[in-house]
């Protein structure tokens, strides 16, 4: 557990704790429910250490979850050319910390207001609230997009434009079920397929040419 990650849940913990104490006046069984919710919140905001592959050409997953889409499309916000998108769906049971897919420098960060469609819906990439990042290295510029879902309503960014990041370093999180996308150059070799489960910061998802 990292304090920075748990700090994002401070108001959730406070509300649940107050409700647990108040419910003791009614019934211990109701208090037990809130204790279980507090335990789940601790589990949701877990943030384990991860070891990233040392090879400079290996791209790692930016989030924990299941690969739900691999598609070629025009990236219109940063690179503005055709790229390959690898989309990862994060359930409410996955670690929700997002991690840098490569070593590099953050050259772009932009928050966009939008809807909260189900994160498994491909349309959510264009319509949902999101935060887009770009990581620049000597080999390539990769775009990462954090997207809210039907339950997730808060995107957190911990770094700023100009910051240098190491592969696997934490740059933010999305609270509760959501979607994280990594946009790769078409020359990159994708190492995963739809249905694969990946771990943010450690699972290789592509190799740069």
- Residues with a catalytic annotation lie at 178
Identify whether the C-beta of residue 125 lies closer than 8 Å to the C-beta of residue 181: yes
Interatomic CA distance for residues 11 and 173, integer angstroms: 16
Left (φ > 0), alpha (ψ -120 to 50) or beta: where does 128 sit?
beta
């Amino acid at each position: 557990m990292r304090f920075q990650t748990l700090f994002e849940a401070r108001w959730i913990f406070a509300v649940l704790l107050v409700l647990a104490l108040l419910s003791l006046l009614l019934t211990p069984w109701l208090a037990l429910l809130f204790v279980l919710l507090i335990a789940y919140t601790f589990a949701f905001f877990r943030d384990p250490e991860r070891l990233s592959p040392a090879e400079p050409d290996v791209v790692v997953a930016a989030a924990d979850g299941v690969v739900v889409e691999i598609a070629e499309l025009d990236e219109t916000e940063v690179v503005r050319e055709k790229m390959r998108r690898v989309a990862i769906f994060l359930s409410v049971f996955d670690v929700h910390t997002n991690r840098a897919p490569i070593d590099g420098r953050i050259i772009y960060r932009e928050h966009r207001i939008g809807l909260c469609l189900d994160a498994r819906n491909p349309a959510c990439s264009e319509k949902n609230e999101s935060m887009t990042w770009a990581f620049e290295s000597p080999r390539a510029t990769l775009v990462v997009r954090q997207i809210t879902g039907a339950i997730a309503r808060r995107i957190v960014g911990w770094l700023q434009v100009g910051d240098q990041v190491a592969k696997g370093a934490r740059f933010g999180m999305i609270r509760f079920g959501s979607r994280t996308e990594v946009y790769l150059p078409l020359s990159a070799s994708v190492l995963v397929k739809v249905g694969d489960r990946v771990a943010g910061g450690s699972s290789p998802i592509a190799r740069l040419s």
